[in-house]
Structure 1
């Protein structure tokens, strides 16, 4: 099997199926209907919510991960929670958590970024619910419970467009690269944020010589992406749509260096016709979803 054929199979293995995608949308819609029934007396409409994160950006991978749902709250509730003397943002998440717990017992607050409520569905999907308000001047306001609570400016539509525009310019290579890097992230337990992988993928492909090429070049693409990534430890990048910058950190650096070394070896084996040896190196990076 050729290099291109193996990467084609790998991409097929890691892309969510139509059934998985439908299940994600069903779970997200159930959450939105629950919130709409509590916070609005208007007829239900899909305009009250949107899918963000990997499903919104078209970069979701299989096995499925979290489904991120943005729910647009009435502005009267913003004033209600903003009026709290201490951490109205936490009170907001606790209120949402309480709404879900009776119907969905496996509901919890996430401890990581302090912005969402997490609902675990029996189907295997985990829905992360982010309440939001439209912000005057563009973007959205979302809760941040850290350091006493605050409202954070985000623009998920700009993040989605950032990936989509790059994907259109690169004949689909942007989303494929992001998906592959997410598999590396999970398989090798790499402590790197998915947003960092997205920002780096778009930036890398904006200058890479073979950005529009077929999967024949994917061994080089992975190798060269890792080569550039290891040079960006402690770098920062402007987040699309807002003025904030994403800090990369460096906790992931040693694993990126290891992945680069293995990708270099794999490319050498590919060039020499050592198919089995190449596959073994790719599997150290991506796991068994990369097949011979």
Structure 2
């Protein structure tokens, strides 16, 4: 396959495949809080999807979701000096909808822990300047300010200027993170990709066939960043911490990119790119894989194998021989299987 086809396949292999499930969870959480705070049944009003999902940079297997919930201004006197109580109220109301799901308060958020991902709910008060005030229960309680709308707006604007390359690169770097188990947050990945493209216009008129050189250029940029403690986020200028130095793995990855670019056969080229991005990068003779876990490592990462296709398994849950539910729907809603049920695969 061509370079363009290979990188298109990579991006197709890592695209989120459970957007419906994610939207349903966001909607049910929002509705639960709207019923309490506004006496509304809306699944969309008064909430904002943020984080990598909100910036459209998340990939398949995304495990951390973030959302803001906009509290009514009239609730401020009630919670002004009671940050922990606010999180407890939010937790209690969400629990009414997700009775069998682990839900807990955690400093600044309420975490709704599903089997395949966590949703962090941040209750906020809206400010006139577009920022939000959110609770912090540490050290006796306080209020802090965040500006995710400015972050998303800046990221979206540069992505538009760079013809979509920014978001695609951010997704590719998440595959790299999973392949090499790099301790780096999604927010830092997006910040680094943003900085890389800030003053780089040479790819504005380029296509997927240039993504091999783009990858090399990015990891060269990353290696040259050295060791820093934090970066400033686009838009908000908030500090994004560096958990652990990524300099050595960036240098190693740059060498893999150089190996791929200098390869004399398609087989060796693709094997080199698989060292960079892992299993989601296609073998040179195979089609796109429809179910890829980007964090797993397989023998075909190192040796050519013609593996393709996928198997979907569904399970019927029956009571008294009558269909009660499908297992996929039950798990998607965070519910357990009741006793005295029969399973039919």
Deviation at 1:199, TM superposition (A): 1.4
Tell me whether 1:278 sits opposite 2:269 in the alignment.
yes
After superposition, what is the alpha-carbon deviation per residue over 1:253-278, rounded to whole angstroms, capped at 9, x for unaligned?
Answer: 33223222222222222xxx332222
Count the aligned residue pairs.
Answer: 280
Match of residue 216, structure 2, among 211, 223, 232: 223
Alignment check: 8 A CA contact 1:226 1:260 kept: yes
Q: Distance in 2 between matches of 1:75 and 1:192?
A: 36
Q: Partner of 1:198 in structure 2?
A: 190
Q: Partner of 1:11 in structure 2?
A: 11
Aligned-pair RMSD on alpha carbons?
A: 2.3
Q: Distance in 2 between matches of 1:137 and 1:63?
A: 35
Q: Which has the higher helix share?
A: 1
* Change over 3 Å in CA distance of 1:3–1:147 after alignment to 2: farther
Q: Distance in 1 between matches of 2:213 and 2:140?
A: 47
Q: Partner of 1:255 in structure 2?
A: 249
Alignment check: 8 A CA contact 1:205 1:211 kept: no
| TM-score normalized by the length of structure 2 | 0.74
* Change over 3 Å in CA distance of 1:197–1:92 after alignment to 2: same
Unaligned runs of 5+ in 1: none
After superposition, what is the alpha-carbon deviation per residue over 1:104-152, rounded to whole angstroms, capped at 9, x for unaligned?
Answer: 23333476xx322222346x34322111110233311122334443322
Q: Distance in 1 between matches of 2:249 and 2:103?
A: 31
Q: Partner of 1:108 in structure 2?
A: 103
Deviation at 1:235, TM superposition (A): 5.5
* Change over 3 Å in CA distance of 1:207–1:26 after alignment to 2: same
Q: Distance in 1 between matches of 2:235 and 2:146?
A: 7
* Change over 3 Å in CA distance of 1:247–1:5 after alignment to 2: same
Q: Partner of 2:167 in structure 1?
A: 175
* Change over 3 Å in CA distance of 1:6–1:50 after alignment to 2: same
Alignment check: 8 A CA contact 2:151 2:233 kept: yes
Deviation at 1:49, TM superposition (A): 0.9
Q: Distance in 2 between matches of 1:218 and 1:43?
A: 45
Q: Distance in 1 between matches of 2:31 and 2:43?
A: 9
Tell me whether 1:24 sits opposite 2:22 in the alignment.
yes
After superposition, what is the alpha-carbon deviation per residue over 1:66-119, rounded to whole angstroms, capped at 9, x for unaligned?
Answer: 3322110122333323223xxx2x3322332233335423333476xx322222
* Change over 3 Å in CA distance of 1:41–1:248 after alignment to 2: same
